[in-house]
Structure 1
Amino acid sequence: MKTRLELSSSISTISMSEIEEQTNNKISSRRNSIFNPDYCKELYAISNNNITDEPCVDDVQLFPKNHSLASLNEKPPKDKWKALLIILLIQGLATTLPWNMFINAQSYFQDYKLMTTSNSTDMERHYQSSFMSYVTICSMIPSVLLSAINVFITKSKMASPMRMIVAKLVIIILLSVTIALAAINTSEYVVTFFIVTMVIIVFTNGASAIYSNSLFGICSILPSRFITTVIYGTNSAGVLTSISSIISIAISPNAKTSALFYFSSAIFIVIIALITNTIFQRLPLYVHCTNNIKSKPDKPEKQSPRPQFWKIFKKIWSVCFNIWLTFTITIVNFPNVVSQVKRKTIPIDDSYWTPVFCFLNFNVFNLMGSLPVHWTVWPGPKRMWIVVLIRTLILGPFFILNNYLPDERVMPAYLANDYGFIFAVSILGFTNAYLMNCYFIYTPSLLDEDDVGVGGMIVNIFLFLGILSGGLIAFVTHPLVKYSW
């Protein structure tokens, strides 16, 4: 905390009326900002000639630590026409679109390209039945590794936008190869097609990981509404692909046509994201935020040009653990288990049951889960683990006790109810998105201002670790229900 003399000097050019006006502006915009509310205390203390070290918020600080009082003189430029918000929404959409395309094209892969016959080998049957689990593993191993590499090769306080451009070019090329494979008859080369597809998934999701990791690192230096916008974009990708799947079934049930539609749409969105990548770097608000970070001098203990990763991690380890467990439980169940739960009583064609009540249901509520953080963020980071634990204990075992693999299971389906299943999928999607938003909003409040970029990338690594853990555990669910308990 600054001494009274230093504080008095720093505001010597500001009249008390200006201080009051600027303070009121800060308080009124608190919902959409991440500035340190300790300013309220400092200004109050100045006006009462009483400097104190006590914080004005006991639980959650909505802004990074150590934000200087002098920044009250700097008025950030407005986001004209909401250009930065719109572009970051598109960027978020493009980060998860490839992943959503692969999991929503489940019918294309399992029922068309990997379709088994009486002459199929045991290996081909295994690849066909466990395809979604392999997709998850091949997606998340490179995602975790490349996200970690992307963080540790970062030598500055911010992520590199150039890495996002390279990653998007790789994604476009690989999705083009996937479209070419859809047009080729691979019925005689099922195992070869499976291996090639997994290789494409590895490199596509590795590039997506670098893209996503860099994007969250960049957004961590912006006000919190931009982080939630990116997450809103990532969740919108699932809704877009689910609707595309349902429309393609209604128009043409041909799996090949659906796949061409899926992957062409993905390429189109990624190209738009590529074009807008260089635009947002020139917008005044983004330039203002990056200049603030670059111009801020290092503290004496931070003279090293590289970020101090371990010290940053120790400040946010609880957030990292919670996001890991949240996504582990989500991916254990979705899409591997949820997509193989069959209806019992609801009168709907089987071809629409999974696309509507599994994928669309989850993705719509996953999108809706991003909305409440605009009004409230609850609970605080110190008590978030309680919510995560309750979610784990309830939703963790629920879906394998539902009507999952009814033709193969030996374990009784104690919770087999269509309406209970639909409600649980909705809760799974809603809580996944809401908690994810909370984690990325809390992270800047736990770090010094010049560490938030690297901190955002570290949290994103644990997000991918959670998805990887969930994919690995999902391999156990199939044999688990075949065992008589």
Structure 2
Amino acid sequence: MEAKEDASVSLHHTDSNDVVTKEINIPNDSYNLAYTIYFILGTGFLLPWNVFITAVDYFNYLYPDRSVDRIFAVVYQSVSLLCLLLIIFGFRKFRAYVRINVGFGLYLVALVVVPLMDLFYNKGRSGLHDGFYVTVGVVGLSGVANVLVQGGVIGSVAELPRRYMQAVVSGTSASGVLVSFMRIFTKAVFPQDIHGLRNSAILYFIVAILFMTLCFCLYNVVRQLPVVKHHNKLRNEQKLNQEEFSSYTSIWNVIQTIKWYGFGITLIYIVTLSIFPGSVTEDVHSAVLKDWYAILLITCYNVFDLIGKSLTAVYLLDNTNIALGACFARFLFYPLYLGCLHGPQIFRTEIPVASLTSLLGITTGYFASVLMILAPKTVQLQCSETAGILMVLFLTLGLVIGSSLSWFWVL
């Protein structure tokens, strides 16, 4: 990556009249510091969710009669969707830095509850349903925090050059890779009894708590970097009258402009979440790999999701029609996975399933990254934050629908 910003991608750039705002003397992103911080922030705001899902062995032991993966997913994504709607239509007047800092605080509260509850209440005992309800509650609290942080970060970075959105979305995949490798490590090191599961889960949550603290500090650093301050100043200079910008009419106009990008990303995550992680972790089996199978499949997905999102730094597809066509083509994953579950034995073996899961990951990562990067650049600069938050809304809608559809695999 070049440290110096490319003026052609930093121009927030087009409106209906194809007006271009030219910008010169853009500050350097020294040592790619802003890019690196935004990558870390992208990793951070999805880390708590990945920790809850990765500790599934621990939660399944505590609550054996519950479908933990699916319940967590539906609660987390439904709460996120509701809170996003509230922010877009009611609370957007609170500045992004306020929402983000509050969100990191809520993340820390949610993450601290689980190890404390294990220490003072569960103590490794199975079947304590009150503990399950508390856990589901903090998963919901993490959903609130996610909206505040993710919506705020993506909304803010939508006003910056494309490379910073690419950094954030790549970071979201790095979160999954980090936790997957942590899970492999803990499974290899700790015994697979209740003591090992407890130690593994507590390690996940301690790492996440430390990472959230780091993200809180780094976010307040990146706001002061010259390149970020420069683009914020540019945004403020071009900003429309606040009442006009905040009106429902303005929001509707942005939706009309980015609707196909939003529709595409919704389709991407409907397909992905209806298959992953529920079907991958619960419905496929290996006599050779046994309980390692699901862990390795999740790792495959996360690694290839990161590869897909990283590829947009090398080649960014600018053709919206091709990207949307690819989103529809991904519905082919349904019959392919059905073949892996119920088809001939050759399709139900490890290599076909792992290959298909990797393909699911790389296509999710690449096309989601393309749409997230392009959408905010189709509107005026002063509407870029709104476009970024709305893309998070479309993404979350796909996650909610996909999480709900995942139940059909067990019907």
CA deviation map 1:435-484 (0-9, x unaligned):
111011211332122111100100111101111101111112101xxxxx
Q: Who is 2:68 aligned against? A: 131
Looking at structure 2, the residues matched to 437 and 248 of structure 1 have their Cα atoms a distance apart, in angstroms, of 31
Looking at structure 1, the residues matched to 170 and 116 of structure 2 have their Cα atoms a distance apart, in angstroms, of 31
Contact 1:65-1:448 within 8 A present in 2 as well: no
Residue 343 (structure 1) shift: 3.8
Residue 154 (structure 1) shift: 5.3
**Identity, % of aligned positions:** 20
Find the partner of 1:79 among 29, 32, 40.
Answer: 29
Shift in CA distance, 268/449, structure 1 to aligned 2, threshold 3 Å:
same
Find the partner of 2:176 among 210, 215, 238.
Answer: 238
- For residue 316 of structure 2, what is the amino acid of its counterpart? V
Looking at structure 1, the residues matched to 404 and 204 of structure 2 have their Cα atoms a distance apart, in angstroms, of 26
Matched, 1:35 2:11: yes
Residue 159 (structure 1) shift: 5.4
Matched, 1:275 2:207: no
Matched, 1:194 2:147: no
Residue 417 (structure 1) shift: 2.7
Looking at structure 2, the residues matched to 200 and 189 of structure 1 have their Cα atoms a distance apart, in angstroms, of 18
Looking at structure 1, the residues matched to 246 and 44 of structure 2 have their Cα atoms a distance apart, in angstroms, of 29
Residue 204 (structure 1) shift: 1.1
Find the partner of 2:145 among 193, 207, 213.
Answer: 207
- For residue 224 of structure 2, what is the amino acid of its counterpart? R
Shift in CA distance, 344/264, structure 1 to aligned 2, threshold 3 Å:
closer
Larger Cα Rg: Structure 1 or Structure 2? 1
Q: Who is 1:17 aligned against? A: none
Shift in CA distance, 247/303, structure 1 to aligned 2, threshold 3 Å:
closer
Looking at structure 1, the residues matched to 25 and 365 of structure 2 have their Cα atoms a distance apart, in angstroms, of 32
- For residue 44 of structure 2, what is the amino acid of its counterpart? A
Looking at structure 2, the residues matched to 397 and 272 of structure 1 have their Cα atoms a distance apart, in angstroms, of 43
- Stretches of structure 2 lacking an aligned partner (at least 5 in a row): none
Find the partner of 2:105 among 169, 172, 188.
Answer: 169
Contact 2:12-2:381 within 8 A present in 1 as well: no
Contact 1:361-1:425 within 8 A present in 2 as well: yes
Matched, 1:457 2:389: yes
Looking at structure 2, the residues matched to 478 and 292 of structure 1 have their Cα atoms a distance apart, in angstroms, of 52
CA deviation map 1:163-208 (0-9, x unaligned):
1111111110111111112223363652212211111100112111
CA deviation map 1:238-273 (0-9, x unaligned):
010000001001110311111001111111100000
Q: Who is 1:370 aligned against? A: 309
Shift in CA distance, 114/452, structure 1 to aligned 2, threshold 3 Å:
same
> SS of 1:369's equivalent?
helix
> SS of 1:77's equivalent?
coil
Deviates more, 1:225-234 or 1:188-197: 188-197
Shift in CA distance, 155/246, structure 1 to aligned 2, threshold 3 Å:
closer
Q: Who is 1:45 aligned against? A: none
Q: Who is 1:401 aligned against? A: 339
Task: Calculate the TM-score normalised by the size of structure 2.
Answer: 0.91
1:230-379, aligned counterparts within 5 Å?
A: 230-253=168-191, 254-296=196-238, 298=240, 304-307=244-247, 308-344=250-286, 347-348=288-289, 350-356=290-296, 358-378=297-317
Q: Who is 1:113 aligned against? A: 62
Q: Which has the larger share of helix? A: 2
Contact 2:155-2:389 within 8 A present in 1 as well: yes
Contact 2:63-2:127 within 8 A present in 1 as well: no
- For residue 232 of structure 1, what is the amino acid of its counterpart? S
Root mean square deviation of aligned Cα:
2.4
- Stretches of structure 1 lacking an aligned partner (at least 5 in a row): 1-24, 39-60, 116-124, 404-410, 480-485
> SS of 2:320's equivalent?
coil
